[in-house]
Chain A
């Protein structure tokens, strides 16, 4: 490129520059005013800005000053507020701390058993806690409080259950208050009932368990899991009574607690009624009264339930042991305890206690059956070992003097005493033992003394109880007794001992006071009467069964006496009255075990009309029958020298009569004890059986009378007398003397005997009556033997008989001489004219046909025809008689 080109380009650029400069200058000129205006505005803005800046910085300065002034006071305020908040926080923290501490306090209170306090506190705490809900920690606290409350309730419940075992007014008041605070009074009462029920169960269980473990020497642990009834069955017999007592005592405590609870509530409601004058809102009043009503109903209702439970427990216990082998005293003690419990039950809730009564009845019958069975066996043994020797006792002896009847003697004395005691017992068991103890404590004490009384044999009199142990002499016998017994000292080989005793005894006999004739067996039966009677009073429900058994004792005694002494009499059938015969048959059918077979018993109720009643006891069994008694081999009834065992006969028969008297004496006592509906049985027994005791004398003594004097010989001797004499005799016949000699000998032996054995007047009379009757029969037979007779002969008969009577009157004090008319009339009939004779014969059936015909035959004034007619008449009536 060359210069030119550069130049050209420079030129061109210059031109272009010039054009642009010009253009620019034009544009500058054109826009210059606008620029000036704009500039002006900018200037103004700058000015304003400067102003604003000033204002701003002014205000800032001022603001700064203000801020400065202001913020110091605000900080103060803020601090203050902060402090306030912190203080509040501190407070709540403190409260929370206390709240947390209260937990401990609560536990303490629970330990102190201040339940209402604890609940109050707890509730307050809860309330407090709820105000601090926003604290995180509080949430846990309040849930813990809730737990505590539950725990309190639980321990409250435990405490409540404790009242079952032992009611404490103060304690219970606290509990009630606590429940009231919780608003759970109703639940509390339900809970309480549950506790009582379980208390009964566990108490009963534990006590029985304790005894079972005691007897099984703790070897088994399995008994813990056994059933109550199962446990009961494992109680051994010797532990039964102590266990029963403990059981009753424990259950008594439970019932007493319930009783106290009720009383407390009653008392409470009375109290609140009296204070109800205070203004309480009516709705609250309605509610409390409703509440109270609910409680009362509940409690009232609970009574029966609780008693039912108690009853059930005791019943199971009582029934699960067989008491039949218990000793009498022990069994009575058991009954006594249960009866007492029944009384408690009656007081507790007016219950008739059917369950317990029933168990008592069952056990009693069971016990009594085997008891009676054993007693009958014993009686059988006594009877068979009895030698029918007189057992000397005082003249005034009666069953009441026996130890076994002490309770009767005391009864009358006690009734007065009891009046005051009754008042006491009106108070009831619950009040009497309110301060502690139980009806079952006293009971054992009583029992102990009774035990001694019952076992120490016989007290013939209270004064005899001062025993002396070391001497055989009679010096140790109290004077009272001595006097009485001396009379019985006869017949013993002690010649130095009061030879006059017989005389004195005669005197005492004359005075009508004779020692009762009893035997060892009689005494034993009397004692059994006492025991049975005592059983009746205790075993009220089976009193009638006991009565029947008592009658069986008597029956058996009577039957034995008859079997031993009365059944050999050849004239048994004649000497037995119908009543006696029926009685003996009844006894034989109902009571006596037939030796060979018992087909006999397959027809029940065959005998007496009362056998139906007796059957209640003898029903199922041969079991209740006793063997046929056999007379002890010591007694010889065949020996002529002992007058065929007259002494034994007298002792035996009279002991029966004595027993009958004693039994009669007991009649009112028996009647008082058995239900009125059963009285007819008793009355029948007395009229049919007891009263026949005396009648037994006849069959027993008749054989003596018939064997002691040779009546046949008398008749034979009379046969040799000539009655067809023609002179009036001034001297009686020799046979009379012989007879009188026999009678005198008899009398002699009788009085000899009465030195050994008292012969009661009645017995004496019965024997003499029999003898005289038989002698008189012999007289009539002898007279009837006279084929021929004259008036003078008749006179001799009269003379002879008269002589006999005169002598007889010296021998016996029996007046008038019995059956005298029998002979007299027969002799004198000889003199009757025909017509009178006929009527006489018709009226006198007591003579045999032979006697009458021979009378007619020897009457001389009758012609042959009328004689035959009358004899025909006699034979006719003789036929009719058969």
Chain B
């Protein structure tokens, strides 16, 4: 089971309950819509290797429960996340209003350099829309977030969301803005890059991850 990849990014999916976080993850990994989805208990997990800008990146995605009662469990997963999907439901103003709280949580609990992408899910339910695209993109701009509207049902923009987030992290790594070797960055070198490094120079430059 030795997958090779250059980087491993720890991702987080957060947002109010019922916004479709698990469905987005499921759609991303299985490429199909999860029909009768239950509320997530605690935290669930999924991973996928994607190709971003010629690098293979393993995304380790923690899908958190949106319900308030799991907040203490889910918060413990914020630490050391490299990227986060902040999900709201375009048909629910309430879930949109809660974004500020989620954002504060993420900014305080996760690493300060965390790359957050705002995701307006359930794009397919256009007729029930309560939050306009413009409004949400303004919010995203104000808070320096990337923004996309997705549909976990149709799969529209789902992969794009993860890719864009990963790409942004990769760019930051390449520009030196993010240091993968810093503890709690949520980024690890994968086997592939390790091997490449070793071949290039047998220096002591090894990431301190044991995996």
Contact = CB atoms under 8 A, between A and B. Distances in A.
Interface of A: 327, 370, 373-374, 377-378, 381-382, 385-393, 403, 452, 455-460, 464-465, 467-474, 476-477, 485, 488-489, 491-492, 494, 519-520, 523-524, 595, 627-628, 630, 632-634
21 contacts: A373-B1, A387-B73, A387-B77, A391-B42, A392-B73, A456-B34, A457-B34, A457-B44, A458-B38, A459-B38, A464-B38, A464-B39, A469-B18, A472-B68, A476-B17, A492-B69, A519-B42, A524-B45, A628-B210, A632-B79, A633-B80
Contacts of A327: 30
Given A470-B92, A627-B211, A523 B41 contact: yes
B36 interface: yes
A458 B41 contact: yes
A485 B69 CA distance: 8
A456 B20 contact: no
Contacts of B70: 391-392
Interface string B75-92: 111011000000001011
Contacts of B211: 627
B45 A378 contact: yes
Nearest to A403: B38
Contact of A389 (B30, B36, B62, B73): B73
Contacts of B1: 370, 373-374, 377
B37 interface: yes
Contact of A469 (B40, B75, B89): B89
A389 B60 CA distance: 20
B18 A467 contact: yes
Contacts of A390: 72-73
A385 B60 CA distance: 11
Interface in B71-123: 71-73, 75-77, 79-80, 89, 91-92, 94-95, 98
Interface in B163-211: 183-184, 210-211
A628 B211 CA distance: 10
Contact of A391 (B17, B41, B183, B210): B41
B34 A455 contact: yes
A344 B150 CA distance: 47
A758 B205 CA distance: 45
A378 B16 CA distance: 26
B47 to A, nearest CB: 8
A472 B41 contact: no
Nearest to A470: B92
A457 B1 CA distance: 24
A662 B38 CA distance: 23
B129 interface: no
A353 to B, nearest CB: 30
Nearest to A386: B76
A23 B148 CA distance: 177
Q: What's the dominant secondary structure at chain B's contact region?
A: loop
A585 B30 CA distance: 40
Given A377-B1, A467-B18, A391 B68 contact: no
Nearest to B211: A627
Contacts of B45: 378, 381-382, 524
B92 A471 contact: yes
A816 B59 CA distance: 55
Given A391-B70, A633-B183, A456 B98 contact: no
A245 B83 CA distance: 42
B26 interface: yes
A403 B16 CA distance: 23
B22 A489 contact: no
B41 A460 contact: yes
A634 B111 CA distance: 13
Contacts of B75: 389
Interface residues of B, number: 46
Contacts of A385: 62, 77
Interface in B19-73: 19-20, 22, 26, 30, 34-45, 60, 62, 66-73
B68 A492 contact: yes
A292 to B, nearest CB: 56
A133 B187 CA distance: 99
B188 to A, nearest CB: 11
Nearest to A371: B1
A471 B18 contact: yes
Q: Top 10 A-B pairs ranked by shortest CB distance?
A: A387-B76, A520-B42, A472-B16, A391-B42, A469-B18, A389-B73, A470-B92, A472-B17, A520-B43, A389-B76
Contacts of B69: 392, 474, 485, 488-489, 492
Contacts of B79: 387, 632-634
A634 B76 contact: yes
Contacts of A488: 69
A381 B60 contact: yes
A467 B210 contact: no
Nearest to A485: B69
A100 B115 CA distance: 91
A627 B209 CA distance: 11
B95 A470 contact: yes
A492 B36 contact: no
A456 B36 contact: yes
Given A377-B1, A455-B30, A520-B73, A470 B38 contact: no
Nearest to B93: A470
A377 B75 CA distance: 23
Contacts of B89: 469-470
Contacts of A386: 76
A492 B71 contact: yes
B76 A474 contact: no
Interface in B122-144: none
Contacts of B210: 595, 627-628, 630
Nearest to A488: B69
B184 A472 contact: no
Contact of A457 (B20, B40, B72): B40
B68 A457 contact: no
A470 B18 contact: yes
A454 to B, nearest CB: 11
A452 B94 CA distance: 29
A457 B22 contact: yes
Interface-centre pick from B18, B42, B66, B67 (highest chain A CB count, 10 A): B42
Contacts of B43: 520
A392 B73 CA distance: 9
A435 to B, nearest CB: 32
A468 B18 contact: yes
A595 B210 CA distance: 9
B68 A474 contact: yes
Nearest to A630: B210
Given A391-B70, A492-B72, 11 more contacts: A377-B1, A385-B77, A389-B73, A390-B72, A457-B40, A457-B44, A464-B38, A469-B89, A474-B69, A476-B17, A494-B68
Given A491-B72, A492-B71, A456 B38 contact: yes
B102 to A, nearest CB: 10
A327 B26 CA distance: 13
A393 B18 contact: no
A472 B18 contact: yes
A455 B73 contact: no
B37 A457 contact: yes
Contacts of A370: 1
A467 B38 contact: yes
B45 to A, nearest CB: 7
A472 B72 contact: no
Contacts of B94: 470-473
A166 to B, nearest CB: 35
B21 to A, nearest CB: 11
A333 B1 CA distance: 22
Contact of A452 (B19, B20, B36, B41): B36
Contacts of A392: 69-70, 73
Contacts of A634: 76, 79
A199 B75 CA distance: 62
Contacts of A459: 38
Contacts of A471: 17-18, 92, 94-95
A457 B98 contact: no
